[in-house]
Structure 1
């Protein structure tokens, strides 16, 4: 494998991040999301949203590269209180030190090469150094590959479920959680 690394994204990376996001969603999530939803997504809009996220101080956006290629990215930061609440609405004691991994994507053609682990590991390390202890992420219930990945680093579903409206089709997501001291198998 060529040199692989993870680095903090800069505003100039927004176009590549948008390309990776839309290409991956269209490939990996075509069965989960209705075609109309995927067709409405534009690279220009996604690029602008990622540029804003990168420039915002409360979000950490990382980019994975292999050689000269951008192959994946992740984003995370302080979890909103509503995201950390239990199914009964109660807020856990560690809510103030819990982060939300909002996105972790690796292009399918670059999968199974360790990029996802490097991305999440680097993000967890940076967020742990900032005093955080636990992470959460939302995974589509039907996304077995992502669920297996998170379970592989020690994160498990915590029983909290949400259903999103994905263009008129319900998309059920499970919340996974675990320590930022990741274990890699």
Structure 2
């Protein structure tokens, strides 16, 4: 597996697919079926173009994990400074907006590789990484706790017009 920065539209299409498949697997018991099914796994050219344009705007923190055939198997979205961080992310912190791995590759080390590479790529003045995840996401909780993150707060996040409980995790770097 190779972890690198976001490339062309093929990478963007892979990100959309991976996110959709990961949502369907990870959140099936946490979110309503209609919300899960809205996650695209076969993006149209228009969806790819829109996502690609959005991801390329000031997105130095987008990383993809690709296999030998350059197929995206996972991605991470780190944000800092003015890059649309969440309100719980401080000035000298980065937010991990997303990290998703294709469900067929869970447990293979891709998530860890994305996390490590992303943290290595952060600006020197960043002293912590914070993230938010659905409270019932046991796979996510185990993943982050095993890598030194600690649950530091709770809040809610709106999905499809409904508020869901979330946990904030933090790691000092």
- TM-score of the superposed pair, with normalisation by structure 1: 0.80
Tell me which residue corresponds to 2:160. 167
Q: Distance in 1 between matches of 2:27 and 2:149?
A: 22
Aligned to 2:142: 148
Given the superposition, is the C-alpha separation of residues 81 and 41 from structure 1 closer, same or farther in structure 2, using an over 3 Å criterion? closer
Higher-helix-fraction structure: 1
Name the SS for the 2:121 alignment partner. Answer: helix
Return 5+ residue gaps in structure 1 as ranges. 85-94, 181-185
Asked if 2 retains the 8 angstrom alpha-carbon contact of 1:54 and 1:60, the reply is: no
Q: Which runs of 5+ in 2 are unaligned?
A: none
RMSD across aligned C-alpha pairs, in angstroms? Answer: 2.0
SS at match of 1:83: coil
Q: Structure 1 residues 51 and 157 mapped into 2: Cα distance closer, same or farther (>3 Å)?
A: same
SS of 1:23's equivalent in the other structure is helix
Q: Which of 81, 96, 99 is the matching residue for 1:101?
A: 96
1:47 — aligned with what? 48
Give the match for residue 10 of structure 1. Answer: 7
Q: Which residue of 1 aligns with 2:68?
A: 67
Q: Contact 2:23–2:39 (CA<8 Å) still a contact in 1?
A: no
- Whether the 8 Å contact between 1:11 and 1:55 is mirrored in structure 2 is no
* Matched residues, number: 165
